[in-house]
Amino acid sequence: MLISSSNSYSKSNSDLVNISSAKKINLKKFTQNGQIQIYRSSYRGSYSSIIRDCLRNAAIGRKVLLVQFMKGGVKQGISNKVKLCGNLTWLRSEHSFDQYHHEEIENNPNLKKSIHESTYELWNFCKKELLSGENDQIILDEIFLAIEMKIIDKDDLISTLENRFISGDVILTGTDIPKDLLLMANQITELRS
């Protein structure tokens, strides 16, 4: 079951454009069209509908970036992106949280460091993409778990979202979502089993 709500409190990201006239400079304000959508669920692995929708968007010609922060097993990393439907770029971490047992990560500091660095490298790539304006839709799957694990800084995510340049939507997924990010959302969808 899907439960959605729109948040009218969200701040829009505005840009200023200089328009020169003969003797004065006017500033004209315009807002971007893209929205922030949050999908949350009480359990991990419940976002197959989002992945299905991003495939459909890519098939109709929209440029889509799908980044899965905590999924692994395919050793993609930034240098091994997968392209689907010609328009969908799919990325997973080179060393991810899901590839190992929790105890194995906690007992091996080098492995933990490698996972954190690989996930943070994905985040830096995403920041550039959010600011580039080259994508029509960006999905940041399980980014809230990366925040909870202290790999990605919540304030860095908020700042990047406030300064994003994308005509389409940014979709964030996760289980434990910080309140200040919920307040930024234009739409919040709760997935229930």
170 lies in which domain range? Answer: 2-191
- Write down the pLDDT at residue 51: 82
pLDDT for the residue numbered 156: 96
What DSSP string describes 73-100? SS---GGG-EEETTTEEEEE-SS-GGGS
| Number of structural domains found in the chain | 1
The better pLDDT of the pair 79, 30 is held by: 79
More confident site: 105 or 16: 105
Burial-class residue 26 by CB neighbours within 10 Å (0-12, 13-18, 19+): exposed
- The model's pLDDT over 28-41, given as tens digits with 9 standing for 90+, comes to 444 456 899 998 88
CATH number (domain holding residue 149): 3.40.50.300
Question: Is 125 within 8 Å of 78 (Cβ atoms)?
Answer: yes
Please report, rounded to a whole number, the percentage of residues in the chain having pLDDT higher than 90.
33
Give me the pLDDT at residue 84, please. 82
In DSSP notation, 8-57 reads TTPPPPEEEEEEE-SS-EEEEEEE----EEEEEESSSS--HHHHHHHHHH
- Give the pLDDT band of residue 18 (cuts 50, 70, 90): very low
